[in-house]
Structure 1
Amino acid sequence: MYRKRHIHRTILVLSFVSLDVVLSVFANLSFFSHYFQHSLRTSLLSLYLLSVWALYLLDHLWDAKKETGKKTLRSNFYLQNKVGIASVIGIGILVVSILGIWYEWKFLFQNLPFLFAFGIGLVLVIQKIAIVPKEILVSFFYTWGILLPFPHCSETDWILFFFFLHVLCNVLLTYQIDRDWDKEQGTFTFNLWVSPRHLTSLVRILLVLGLFSLLWLWRYQNLDIGFILGLGLSYLWLLVTDLFCQNPNTKKITSELAYLPMFVPEIIFFFSALP
């Protein structure tokens, strides 16, 4: 029993410090790197993962300090360890700055429109003056950011659309868990004007439609089965999580890890290359 509680606590801590999100970003980049046959430089991959990690840590620490009333488990964790977390954020920002200036300045310069747009979107959300629901903004910038390293991607590629749809469903599900917090902060989200039951039904419909559409792509567009499996299993993972996970913390962690099947194409390629 003690060992089970210890494992559960360890998983919670890993989720609190957003390592599940970092792993998911790595899975996304791995999937599209293999899909577009475009390898990523170690410096660029490190820049991505550290940037996402520092950004999520900073966001959670900011939320913990702003939270009034009864604190959540995550907020208590951040407040109890704020010095250590702030140090990690500072070191992360320093390393990201070094990587950006010394190794990836050209990549950053080429993608200034994204950086400016992301900055503006961030300000609009923080100032509570965004006219687009937060879920849409987060899904849009997440998808755009993941695709930045791949210059040959086509806007008409259906895989990109279904990736965005999965991201949106994931965000809609996980943000339901923070419904009370968003309401308290006055953040413009779907949760403010759509009931949990209707929102959950919408997400399930989108996930089922996405699954069947991916099967259609495989059948009629001759898309490699590895990529269909990677994205299709991610859809299935999220759908099963929504249907069977009742505990909010478990549901959030499992939803964040719904991108792990996107490692499937790399795994298939690795084993197919063995003698």
Structure 2
Amino acid sequence: MNFSQSFFRYLSLLSIDVVLGAMAGLLFFSRLFRVEVDLTVYLLLGSAVWCIYTLDHILDAKSGVFPLSDRYVFHQNNRTVLMVCVLAVAILGLGLAFLTFGLGKEFFWSVGLGALILATMFLIRKAGKSAGLLKEISTGVLYVLGIAWIPLLRIGSMDLSYLFAGFLFGYSLLAVINLLTLAVLDANEDHVQGFPSAADILPLVKLVEVIRRLNFLLIFVSLAGFIFLSSLYRPFACVILLMALVHYLTFFQADLSSEQKRMRMEASFMLPVLLLFL
């Protein structure tokens, strides 16, 4: 394995690619809603996403049975160090959030959202395999709500538009498609480990067909948005279209390994950085 492959592998193992994708999503919604978001908010979002994903992987690795995938082996072997890092980042994040927001609505609502996400994770784990499909849908929706949270709180009531709900739905649909594709890629491992997954509810053939149809729907709707919406919204429709195309072309490309598909699809969530050049 050469240096670049090793570098990107560790970015994936540490969920740094997910963090960067979430920060790019924050850029997407701050530009869409036309609100100011400073660098501190990006750091807070990145730290929160990293803590949640890393904690989830640590818990999965702890409850899993051997043989584990490379991701879970990594988190199992480095569990103590990673838990210390999660606690340190969480404490520093809360302190930075207090300094940034004060004891205002953004602080309390954000802490409440974080508690909701952790509670949802706990309930899904308790539900076991019966939580299949609900896991992907709830995680996708909460992920998008999390990255759009501060822009949503800062947007003025006079600036609200029904189009914003459409973009929130489109981005959420993309996140759900991403999680469903991962459920297919990880179906065998999730079954062995006993992790809840959409593959527990739907046969793989049916699940792949659902992914295909949802992808087509998102591609069609985002393309229609690019064509028919005003120039103000076309760049955002184009970004979602590009991300949807990457997901479709990557998932249905037979000569790629599961890990390559995972990394390419996660990298597609960084495409909103293109908005910096518009």
**Structure 1 length-normalised TM:** 0.87
Q: Distance in 1 between matches of 2:126 and 2:33?
A: 38
- The residue number in structure 1 matching 2:119 is 120
The 3 A distance-change label for structure 1 pair 240 and 234 is same
Deviation beyond 6 Å, 4+ runs, structure 1: none
Is contact 1:128-1:186 (8 Å) kept? no
Does 1:234 pair with 2:247?
Answer: no
Q: Deviations over 1:70-99 (max 9, x none)?
A: 121112222333343233222211211211
Q: Which residue of 2 aligns with 1:90?
A: 87
* Matching of residue 170 in structure 1 with residue 185 in structure 2: no
Cα distance in 1 between the residues matched to 2:117 and 2:83: 23
**1:62: how far off?**
1.8
Listed as ranges, the gaps of 5+ residues in structure 2 are none
Which of 187-196 and 252-261 deviates more?
187-196
1:198-225 per-residue CA deviation (whole Å, 9 max, x = no partner) reads: 2122212211221121222222232533
- Offset of residue 18 of structure 1: 0.3
Q: Given the superposition, is the C-alpha separation of residues 108 and 185 from structure 1 closer, same or farther in structure 2, using an over 3 Å criterion?
A: farther
Aligned positions of 1:133-148 closer than 5 A: 133-148=134-149
Q: 8 Å contact 1:230–1:263 — kept in the other structure?
A: no
* Distance of 2:82 and 2:204 partners within structure 1: 33
The runs of 5 or more residues in structure 1 that have no matched partner are 269-275
Structure 1 residue 196: Cα displacement: 1.9
Corresponding position of 2:99: 102
Matched-pair contact (CA < 8 Å) for 1:174–1:255: no
The 8 Å contact of residues 118 and 141 in structure 1, kept in 2 or not, is answered as yes
**For residue 216 of structure 2, what is the aligned residue in structure 1?**
208
Match of 1:265 among 232, 252, 275: 275
Task: Judge which range, 33-42 or 116-125, deviates more.
Answer: 116-125
Q: CA RMSD in A?
A: 2.3
Q: 1:50 aligns with which of 31, 47, 58?
A: 47
Check the 8 A contact 1:173/1:203 in 2, yes or no. yes
Q: Distance in 1 between matches of 2:169 and 2:237?
A: 13
Report the AA paired with residue 267 of structure 1: F
Question: SS of the residue aligned with 1:128?
Answer: helix
Alpha-carbon separation, structure 2, partners of 1:139 and 1:122: 12
Normalised TM-score (structure 2): 0.86
Alpha-carbon separation, structure 2, partners of 1:155 and 1:219: 18
Partner of 1:255: 265
The SS at the match of 1:246 is coil
2:182–2:262 contact (8 Å) kept in structure 1: yes
Report the Cα offset of residue 10 of structure 1.
2.0
Which stretch of the first structure deviates more once superposed, 126-135 or 38-47?
126-135
| Partner residue, 1:273 | none
In structure 2, the CA distance between the partners of 1:128 and 1:154, relative to structure 1 (3 Å rule), is: farther
